[in-house]
Amino acid sequence: MDPDRPTRASRFRVAAALAFGALLLAGCVPAGPPPTVKTAPTLQAVSVAPGQLVQPLALTAFQLDFAPGKAVDYYQVGTSCQPLSATPNTSRSVDISGDQAQQLLLGFVADAFEDRGYRIDRSGKAGLTVTATWIAYTTDICKPYTSIGDSQTGHGRVWVQVRWVLAERSTGRVLLARETEGNGKVVSTIEKVSTELLRLALHQAAGNLLADPEVVALITGASVAASQDAAPASLAPGKAPSGPSGLNAAAQASAQAAFDSWLDGNRAVLAAALDVHLAALGRPVPGGVQSILGAAVRDVTNDGYLTLLTYGTAGGSDEGLFQVTLSEGRLKRILLLQ
């Protein structure tokens, strides 16, 4: 166990008074029909393999940025769940600036990353920062007891939307920005229902972030085997293939000819995309990528060409193994594999 990682039990003791009802300060308005609690997609998060090197991450203060109508609490009470209130909130009507609220929210985010093998740095030395901004949510919660003051038990659902920004700690330069969603659902009466709903929703939202191949590539400096952008299974970790993988001679020649045909009219496009991608991974090329000097296709998958690219730099040349994905004749994505 990480000695610097707060225990979840201690965090939930801190969270006892921090259910949604304690965080949200707006007055009640007459209740209408229950709001629609969206169902967030569940993407396949990429976990860190044992022994894999990853950049440590520093979490900055949890933020709020609710647009009008994007944050709604719907409460019901009693054993038959009679409507009590529907409360629209704004960033000004919610206060998460206190130490306890920050500890709760950042703890949930840290758990979501660390459960998947990523490192959260608490020493202030990490070169990569992650900022989570809560931008929307909907709750539909029933408090089964008739006492309105009882806010510690209940059941219900929540949907949250979070904006994530990954940046260089030293300069503040934004490297990536993404928005993801998450759900929480509690089907039985439990203590601290609002806190548990939020924990579940943030865990899913962070997991969906870690299903993004570019996010994982930025943190790990390698390619990802996510469901929608899987690296070729024939690629051995840490070892670039010396020749075609999974292709016979005829297929390899055909793939090479097809890629060369595309490259003839898109060298500048590929060079510019390569320059941006390497900078986003924290491996900027001094003076920028000047040109694409050569491309040797090693394999072809549903996700594109596994290609050894040789590129010109201000000081000479360099090379790397990349997955180049095309869509309708245009460059869709480039990922560093080795």
Query: Do 12 and 146 belong to one domain?
Result: yes
Instruction: Please list, residue by residue across 181-204, b when 16 or more beta carbons sit within 10 angstroms of its beta carbon and e when fewer do.
Output: bbbbbbeeeeebbbbbbbbbbbbb
- What whole-number distance in Å separates Cα of residue 127 and Cα of residue 172? 10
215 and 235 together in one domain: no
Nearest to 172 by CA among 131, 132, 139, 211: 131
In a domain, residue 2? The reply is no
DSSP 8-state code for residue 17: T
Are 212 and 258 in the same domain?
A: no
259 falls within a domain:
yes
The model's pTM: 0.59
Q: What residue ranges in 19-152 does DSSP mark as E strands?
A: 57-59, 63-64, 71-77, 82-88, 128-143
Sheet of 330-336, strands arranged across: 291-301, 304-313, 316-327, 330-336
Cα angle at 321 between 315 and 327, to 5 degrees? 110
Each residue's pLDDT, cut to its tens digit, for the chain (338 residues) gives: 454 555 555 444 444 334 444 443 333 444 556 677 888 888 888 888 777 778 899 999 998 888 777 777 777 777 777 776 666 655 555 677 788 889 999 999 999 999 999 999 988 788 899 999 998 888 888 877 655 555 557 788 899 999 999 998 888 888 889 999 999 888 777 767 788 888 999 999 999 999 998 898 888 875 433 333 333 333 333 333 333 344 567 777 888 888 999 998 899 989 988 888 888 777 888 888 999 999 998 877 766 788 889 999 988 898 888 888 887 788 888 888 75
Q: Would you say residue 304 lies in a domain?
A: yes
Same domain flag for 49 and 169: yes
Domain count along the chain: 2
Of 161, 185, 220, which closes a domain? 220
Give the integer Cα–Cα distance in Å for 86 and 240: 57
Q: Do 202 and 242 fall within a single domain?
A: no
Distance CA(225)–CA(46), nearest Å, equals 7
Query: Could you tell me the CATH number of the domain that includes residue 36?
Result: 3.40.50
Strands (E), the chain: 57-59, 63-64, 71-77, 82-88, 128-143, 153-168, 174-191, 225-226, 229-230, 291-301, 304-313, 316-327, 330-336
The domain of 243 spans: 231-336
